[in-house]
Amino acid sequence: MKPKRIGKNPSNIVTLDMVAIESGVSPSTVSRLLNGTATVSEEKKKSIDAAIAKLGFVPNPVARGLAGGRTLSIGVVTQALDSPFYGAALRGIEDELDPAGYSPLFVSAHWNLASEVRCIDMLRSRRVDGFIVLNGRMTDNALKNIAANLPLVVTGRQIKGPGLFALNFDNLGGGFQATQHLIQLGHRRIAFIAGDPEHPDANERFKGYLNALKAANISFDPNLVVAGEYHEISGLLAVDRLLASQQQFTAIFAANDQMAFGAALSLHRHALRVPDDVSLMGFDDLANSLYCAPPLSTIHQPAYELGRLAASAMLQLLAGKKPTAVMPAPVLIARDSTRRLRV
């Protein structure tokens, strides 16, 4: 008899076969019990359960994946692992997936289409059971193609299809509320720091800004709009430019909190005080927004919740059900960075 090949994993690893032997049934029966593929007699079920407990058996996801079954892993395409916003979402995903026995496989695409495609291929090669794509750059059609094979949950857009579920935040409404808040405080010269026009959500926020102006009969002044890129430094530079342009304004609405932080620093450097000289409004309500001086007024976007909802939708998709998750509506958080305009 040939010597059996010795496994590379020195840790005493318990296999399904061992459970089968221990409990005196065939491996298939054990497998079926585990997967609920077929009904197993109460008696055998008991002895199998006992054997599993005794041996401390844990199914090997790798083997499962190969055998064509599930890998119990979900590919999560994010744009930046270390973004404060996505960080919270990732935690939500993890928290929701974990009790269900699924593990997230995080990859970041850095807002880059090519890299996003590579990520998806990589995840597919690792046989994930589904995808969660956070605000990707891919076209709707590309996503539909992916969803044709594997369940897919995507955030940041409206799109429907079989095996596909979209979770979208009301950025337009949020942008409207933010702007309206400033207007209600008496501001009429409200600067807007925009996000990358490639982001649909950035554009929606901008639209919300426009709508609110219009609703208040304030004429739109394009000179008050400066481009940004959703991170701190771009907010800082935007305000630098705004100030250099000599435009008059009494309030700033930044399309996200990170840019608002940058804006605050620029104002600080120019000896302008928030909110005494300029009211400042953000968007997202990052964990940090409460902990800056002054605490930032913003629109609350539930990042953690978003993660949980996306993951739970994925779980439902996997179970063949129709996801029911709906995003909470945007909520205005008025803190100390905005104040009534002094006349």
Partner DNA sequence: TTGTAGGCGTTATCAG
Partner DNA sequence: CTGATAACGCCTACAA
Are the C-beta atoms of 240 and 234 separated by less than 8 Å?
no
| Phi, psi dihedral angles at 120 (to 5 degrees) | -65, -40
Q: Interaction with its own copies in 114-153: which residues (CB under 8 A)?
A: 121-122, 124-127, 148-149
CA–CA separation, 289 and 263 (whole Å): 13
Q: Residue 108: in which H helix or E strand, if any?
A: strand 103-108
Give the residue, chosen from 10, 11, 12, 43, that forms a contact with DNA under the rule CB under 7 A: 43
Question: DSSP 3-state assignment of 339?
Answer: coil
Mark residues 287-326: x for contact with its own copies by CB under 8 A, - for none.
xx-xxxxxx--------x----------------------
Q: Interaction with DNA in 50-79: which residues (CB under 7 A)?
A: 57, 59-60, 63-64, 66-69
Q: Cβ of residue 14: shortest distance to its own copies, in angstroms?
A: 10
Q: Cβ of residue 142: shortest distance to DNA, in angstroms?
A: 23
Would you count residue 10 as binding its own copies (CB under 8 A)? Answer: yes
Of these partners, DNA, its own copies, none, which one is at the site of residue 84 (CB under 5 to 8 Å by kind)?
its own copies
| 238 class by beta-carbon count within 10 Å (0-12 exposed, 13-18 middle, 19+ buried) | buried
Nearest CB to DNA, comparing residues 43 and 82: 43
Helices vs. strands in the chain: H and E counts, helices first: 12, 11
Would you count residue 149 as binding DNA (CB under 7 A)? Answer: no
| 139 class by beta-carbon count within 10 Å (0-12 exposed, 13-18 middle, 19+ buried) | exposed
Mark residues 256-275: x for contact with its own copies by CB under 8 A, - for none.
--x--xx-xx--x-----x-
Would you count residue 43 as binding its own copies (CB under 8 A)? Answer: no
CA–CA separation, 42 and 48 (whole Å): 10
Q: Cβ of residue 138: shortest distance to DNA, in angstroms?
A: 25
CA–CA separation, 246 and 106 (whole Å): 45
Q: Interaction with DNA in 183-242: which residues (CB under 7 A)?
A: none
Count of residues engaged in binding its own copies, rule: CB under 8 A: 60
Give the residue, chosen from 32, 44, 45, 91, that forms a contact with its own copies under the rule CB under 8 A: 91
- CA 107 vs. chain centroid, Å, equals 12
Burial code (b: 16+ CB inside 10 Å, e: under 16) for 293-327 equals ebebbbbbbbbbbbbbbbbbbbbbbbeeeebebeb
Q: Cβ of residue 83: shortest distance to DNA, in angstroms?
A: 34
| Phi, psi dihedral angles at 152 (to 5 degrees) | -140, 130
User: Which residues fall within 8 angstroms of residue 163, CB to CB, at 6 or more apart?
Assistant: 147, 148, 150, 151, 152, 317
Q: Cβ of residue 75: shortest distance to its own copies, in angstroms?
A: 10
CA–CA separation, 311 and 67 (whole Å): 25
Nearest CB to DNA, comparing residues 64 and 335: 64
Q: Which residues bind its own copies (CB under 8 A)?
A: 5, 7-11, 58-63, 65-66, 68-69, 71, 73, 80-84, 87-88, 90-91, 94, 103-108, 121-122, 124-127, 148-149, 232, 236, 258, 261-262, 264-265, 268, 274, 287-288, 290-295, 304
Q: Which residues bind DNA (CB under 7 A)?
A: 2-5, 7, 9, 13, 15-17, 24-32, 34-35, 37-41, 43-44, 57, 59-60, 63-64, 66-69
